[in-house]
A and B are shown apart, each in its own frame.
Chain A
Amino acid sequence: MKAPEFDYVRPDTLEDVFVLLDDETCDARLLAGGQSLIAALNFRLDAPELLIDINRIDGLSGIVEDGDNIRIGALTRHVEVENSQIVARHLPLLSKAIGNVAHAAIRNRGTFGGSLALADPAAEIPACCLAYDAIITASSSSGNRTIRAADFFHGLYETALEDHEIITAVEFKKRAPNDLVAFDEITRRHGDYAMAGLAFSAAAKGKIEDPHIVFFGISDRPIRAVEAEAILEGARLDQPAIAAAASKATEGIELSSDTSASEAMKAHLARTLLNRALTSILEEKP
């Protein structure tokens, strides 16, 4: 199919973007990497009046260390995250996950902020942001506001972002070297959206502290397995704890089936992923 007609503008500054976004009479979309938006237009699933191309705006791209924090610009391409030593050193979960984002050609264009703004429930980056308690900066003509990842994802392709806002950056706390971390997903073909995926992070000081178990591809958004986290909190990582946590993996989670898997299948895969992830951590760190 061919995209419906739209106007296109490529502003040079964020201020110009804000002016366009503030025009409530104009149905606009931000064009970053275009890896999902252009497909949606060509499928005629979306028909905005205006595309605002943000690719030429300075300062939206890049990965910087700032004390205890890492800041990833919204326009940073997945490939930059993939190749970043800073990410590899301080945000190992993200480093493990990023190669699973689609295919190389898509990672060359697709952006970090774009993935969050789209909020596909089976995408890797939103899950990692939730697992790492990322802080998302949304900017508008009225200034910046920060949104915790935990408050950001509202449902299938729905986020806390207002129509007049643009994601400009995502901040992470640097993780400790002895953090527990695991990432895994089940796809029938490499690069596909996951039938079920897991992003796991926890602090470890003898016992498990502050575990974040985030499943993606099984519900309408990336979602924390709070019941399983409660079992692990303060526990020693051993086989009984793993079995107990896995058995509660999808407790309280509203599952969504798709053409690849039923709800029962999704629940089973989630339990399997958690079991495998924790077992591999146990085997790595005796």
Chain B
Amino acid sequence: MSERLHELDRPNSYIGKSVPRPNAVHLLQGRGRFVDDKVLPRMVHAAFVRSPHAHARIRGVDADEAKTLQGVIAVFTGEDMAAAIAPWSGVLTHLAGMRSPEQPALARDITRWQGEPVVMVVAQSRAIAEDAAALIEVDFDPLPEMCDMEGALDSDAVVIHPELGNNLCWERLVETGEVNAAFSDPANTVVDRTFTFGRHTGVTLEARACIADYDQAEEALTFHYSGQSPHMMQAILAKHLGFEEENVNVIAADVGGSFGIKIHTYGDEIATAAAAKLLRRPVKFAADRFESFVSDIHARDHRVKARLALGQDGRIAALEIDDLTGIGPYSVYPRSSGIEANQVLNLTGAPYDIPAYRGRARVVFQNKNVMCQYRAVGHPIANSVMEGLMDDAARQLAIDPAELRRRNLFADDAYPVTSVTGMKFADLSHHACLGKLLDMMDYEGLKSERDALRKKGIHRGIGIVSMVEVTNPSPMFYGVGGAPISAQDGATVRLDANGAVHVSSSITEQGQGTETILAQIAASAIGVDIAKVKVTTGDTRTTPYGGGTWASRGAGIGGEAMLLASRALKSQILEAAATVLQARPEALDIEAGNIVDTGGTKPRMSLAELGKLVYYRGNELPSDVRPELIATRHFRVTDYPFVFTNGAMASYVEVDIETGMVKLLGHWVVEDCGTVINKKLVDEQIRGGVVQGIGGALYEECLYSENGQLQNATMADYLVPMAGEMPDIEIAHIETPSCTSDLGAKGAGEAGTCGAPGAVMNAVNNALEPLDASVAQHPITPERLLRALSVID
């Protein structure tokens, strides 16, 4: 651990320890406070009539019968809501040329995806609202659909937004170095392949939910919200509903998972807030699973044509990719739906020293549910494409896949270095991670086992990936593009009269343990028992202003702010104690809640005594001692646009070539997320991420019919990965602290999801190698696998 961390590296430090989560007990006892648990006086419930068509004109809405149903309070159409809500447009100015038309909360005139909210019903109960919704007749006139992204830019394609002229949302081109020369050099080996990635979605355990509570007297809105970014929602609600921003209070108490699903502007949620204002009473909307599948953002849906040129020594000469992605009919507000394609351009090939690169990304509109940022945005695509090509190249050049990677990874002492795609890397450790991975999995032993079993007709394969992940983003991610999204976070830390420490932070907890690591940092930096630290998050009125938890930024940015604030409080405490104890502040320290002499352990005064003295008996203190034991600090990443992390991952599988079933036998991860604050939490974040990555690789897919109907919008038909099929996932760490902060923590939340799909795909293809077959379409379903083997046609 780095020298600057000395205060966290003391014997009683909680940093690096697997401290149990203080909030686990209340969740396990069923005492969580999720939005749907909350009941407010006079609260009513919303349900939505959603479009059954992918594309249709709305000729009229007949709600007469619904309005007469007992218990129905109001029915709102798109026109009604347009009068109450300013529309939005999901465009970021730094993504040059991006276009997306204004999006209404409820569809007006034309509906553009199956599942788009069209009519809102508010009633005494959700059941009554659903009864009424079933009685509403919407006169739809179906229009031709534009669903297949491959045809979206054809000259005869149906144009979803005629005012834009075509279905292109955004296009970006990048070119560096002598790409053409590298691919045309006869001395180079070229591998090429087209990869496709199906749509999938986040499937949070707690579905999206909100309660909007309007206070007419104060012209204020309290928004209880299952989400990740309270301050962003505060700005959006104020702007689009016409509130003063300070009059909007967003509260995110317990949140049951989010994975990037709950960080966007959803028409049904904004309409819920508008309804509360119009009806002057609290309105609850809690999405059911059907609604979640057709309205929670989807992710991925990419087709990437890629090729790689290598010299005979196995060194990469050039990389070229062409990404096409379908995002539904609108770019999602306020983050836009261009970031995933942008990440694919930025991250493909990121671990490697590549001299020449050409990339093109095209983001197109289509009549399917909207697509936006979900856990590990763009990473699994970038990683699977590059690592798939690397394995193709290894086969062609007859070089061991691990060795081929070793020849091309940036050296561990090369940093800082800028990649061919323009990414500025620091503090990475690819070779150390790969070496540790190969040792941990017994690479040579597994290869021998695989080869021996092949002779018996058992088809096993090993897949390896090296990876880079974006974490701790600076304002260069969103703020620069005009979105109301903060890239800095703050922490407030105060000492109470009894010696307890109350901390609050603008980063948020969705089940991953944010509050635990905040308490660990504060307890360690101040010198108190962690049981004495109480944490508040998820309230725009009481926490510092900040961005919330997304893009693996909680520990790195919010954690650093907590460290800085805790140090500041400690200085205040020692200043006050020095006066009382007639010592110099530098000669004092805090140990287990007591003031001690620096280097000593003998209590000279407890924090409770000091607190009581300062707060109750200030008359005993000299007049220049300020009764101030509270500090706030904020932190943002400077000098680097992102703090990149790296790792290596491997998968071992067995393929049943008669049924197409893939059995996951083992999975290994070595990750370098800098300083590990809580090993158990980091490991479980990585495991969860691996499982979601495996979901994308083998199971999860939003299956659409040709005319844009989602075919599998239930938990029986949409296959989330289940524990029974998951392999043991072994995890190890390399710790290279980030130079951008004192804490040195980088993000860890998305590593698993980044690397797992490529590792599994490479393992499957390795198993299929003797049969001269391979797959490059995610998820790798049994049927796709058997088609690749020509077992069925």
Chains A and B bind each other: yes
Point out residues on A near B: beta carbons under 8 Å: 1-5, 43-44, 186, 188-193, 195, 259-262, 264-265, 268-269, 272, 276
Closest B residue to A262 by beta carbon equals B783
| A4 with B722, Cβ < 8 A, contacts A188-B782, A268-B791 known | no
Size of the B side of the interface (Cβ < 8 Å), in residues, is 31
Q: What is the minimal beta-carbon distance from A39 to any residue of chain B, in angstroms?
A: 8
Contact A269 B130 (CB under 8 A): no
Bound: A264/B130 CA distance, A = 40
Contact A259 B717 (CB under 8 A): yes
Contact partners of B719 in chain A: CB under 8 A: 188-189, 192
Bound: A3/B127 CA distance, A = 7
Contact partners of B717 in chain A: CB under 8 A: 259
Contact B724 A190 (CB under 8 A): yes
Contact A265 B724 (CB under 8 A): no
Bound: A215/B792 CA distance, A = 19
| A192 with B716, Cβ < 8 A, contacts A43-B290, A265-B792, A272-B658 known | yes
Contact A265 B712 (CB under 8 A): no
Closest B residue to A186 by beta carbon equals B659
Contact partners of A2 in chain B: CB under 8 A: 125-127, 130
Type the 1/0 row for B262-304, where 1 means its CB is closer than 8 Å to any CB of A: 0000000000000000000000000010100000000000000
Contact partners of A260 in chain B: CB under 8 A: 781
Contact A265 B786 (CB under 8 A): yes
Contact A1 B722 (CB under 8 A): no
Bound: A259/B658 CA distance, A = 20
Contact partners of A186 in chain B: CB under 8 A: 659, 661, 782
Contact B661 A188 (CB under 8 A): yes
Contact A264 B792 (CB under 8 A): yes
Bound: A269/B792 CA distance, A = 10
| A272 with B716, Cβ < 8 A, contacts A5-B127, A188-B782, A264-B792 known | no
Of residues 709 to 727 in B, which have CB atoms within 8 Å of A's CB atoms? 711-712, 714, 716-717, 719, 721-722, 724-725
Contact partners of B792 in chain A: CB under 8 A: 262, 264-265, 268
Whether a CB of chain A sits under 8 angstroms from the CB of B179 is no
Contact B725 A190 (CB under 8 A): yes
Contact B782 A265 (CB under 8 A): yes
Whether a CB of chain A sits under 8 angstroms from the CB of B330 is no
Contact A259 B711 (CB under 8 A): yes
Contact for A261 among B714, B783, B791, CB less than 8 A: B783
Contact for A189 among B127, B134, B725, CB less than 8 A: B725
Q: What is the minimal beta-carbon distance from B46 to any residue of chain A, in angstroms?
A: 13
Whether a CB of chain A sits under 8 angstroms from the CB of B793 is yes
Closest B residue to A189 by beta carbon equals B722
Contact B131 A1 (CB under 8 A): no
Contact partners of B711 in chain A: CB under 8 A: 259
Contact for B659 among A4, A259, A269, CB less than 8 A: A269
Closest B residue to A271 by beta carbon equals B658
Q: What is the minimal beta-carbon distance from B669 to any residue of chain A, in angstroms?
A: 23
Contact partners of A4 in chain B: CB under 8 A: 127, 130-131
Q: What is the minimal beta-carbon distance from A195 to any residue of chain B, in angstroms?
A: 7
Q: What is the minimal beta-carbon distance from B696 to any residue of chain A, in angstroms?
A: 14
Instruction: Tell me which of A44, A190, A259, A265 has the highest count of chain B C-beta atoms within 10 A of its own C-beta.
Output: A265
Closest A residue to B130 by beta carbon equals A2
Contact partners of A269 in chain B: CB under 8 A: 659
Bound: A193/B719 CA distance, A = 12
Contact B127 A44 (CB under 8 A): no
Q: What is the minimal beta-carbon distance from A221 to any residue of chain B, in angstroms?
A: 19
Whether a CB of chain A sits under 8 angstroms from the CB of B703 is yes
Instruction: Tell me which of B658, B661, B699 has the highest count of chain A C-beta atoms within 10 A of its own C-beta.
Output: B658
Q: What is the minimal beta-carbon distance from A142 to any residue of chain B, in angstroms?
A: 37
Name 12 interchain pairs, CB-CB below 8 A, sorted by A: A2-B126, A2-B127, A4-B130, A4-B131, A5-B127, A259-B711, A259-B712, A264-B792, A265-B783, A268-B786, A268-B792, A272-B658
Contact for A191 among B712, B714, B724, CB less than 8 A: B724
Closest B residue to A195 by beta carbon equals B782
Contact A190 B722 (CB under 8 A): yes
Given A188-B719, A191-B724, A261-B783; 16 other pairs, CB 8 A cutoff: A1-B130, A2-B126, A4-B127, A4-B131, A43-B290, A44-B130, A186-B661, A186-B782, A188-B781, A189-B722, A195-B782, A259-B717, A261-B782, A264-B793, A265-B783, A265-B792
Closest A residue to B714 by beta carbon equals A43
Bound: A43/B781 CA distance, A = 27
Bound: A269/B661 CA distance, A = 11
Bound: A262/B659 CA distance, A = 13
Closest B residue to A42 by beta carbon equals B288
| A5 with B131, Cβ < 8 A, contacts A190-B725, A272-B658 known | yes
Contact partners of A272 in chain B: CB under 8 A: 658-659
Q: What is the minimal beta-carbon distance from A194 to any residue of chain B, in angstroms?
A: 12
The 7 closest A-B pairs by CB, nearest first: A2-B127, A190-B724, A265-B783, A264-B792, A272-B658, A1-B288, A189-B722
Bound: A39/B550 CA distance, A = 34
Contact partners of B703 in chain A: CB under 8 A: 259
Of residues 121 to 136 in B, which have CB atoms within 8 Å of A's CB atoms? 125-127, 130-131, 134
Contact B134 A44 (CB under 8 A): yes
Contact B716 A193 (CB under 8 A): yes
Q: What is the minimal beta-carbon distance from B764 to any residue of chain A, in angstroms?
A: 14
Contact partners of B712 in chain A: CB under 8 A: 259
Type the 1/0 row for B695-739, where 1 means its CB is closer than 8 Å to any CB of A: 000110001000000011010110101101100000000000000
Q: What is the minimal beta-carbon distance from B205 to any residue of chain A, in angstroms?
A: 16
Closest B residue to A263 by beta carbon equals B792
Contact B724 A189 (CB under 8 A): yes
Q: What is the minimal beta-carbon distance from A259 to any residue of chain B, in angstroms?
A: 5
Contact partners of A1 in chain B: CB under 8 A: 130, 288, 290
Closest A residue to B129 by beta carbon equals A2
Bound: A193/B717 CA distance, A = 9
Contact partners of A43 in chain B: CB under 8 A: 290, 714
Bound: A262/B125 CA distance, A = 42
Closest A residue to B126 by beta carbon equals A2
Contact partners of B786 in chain A: CB under 8 A: 265, 268
Contact partners of A262 in chain B: CB under 8 A: 783, 792
Q: What is the minimal beta-carbon distance from A147 to any residue of chain B, in angstroms?
A: 28
Contact partners of A3 in chain B: CB under 8 A: 127
Q: What is the minimal beta-carbon distance from A146 to any residue of chain B, in angstroms?
A: 33
Bound: A272/B657 CA distance, A = 11
Contact partners of A188 in chain B: CB under 8 A: 661, 698-699, 719, 725, 781-782
Q: What is the minimal beta-carbon distance from A94 to any residue of chain B, in angstroms?
A: 23
Instruction: Tell me which of B659, B661, B714 has the highest count of chain A C-beta atoms within 10 A of its own C-beta.
Output: B659
Type the 1/0 row for B542-556, where 1 means its CB is closer than 8 Å to any CB of A: 000000000000000
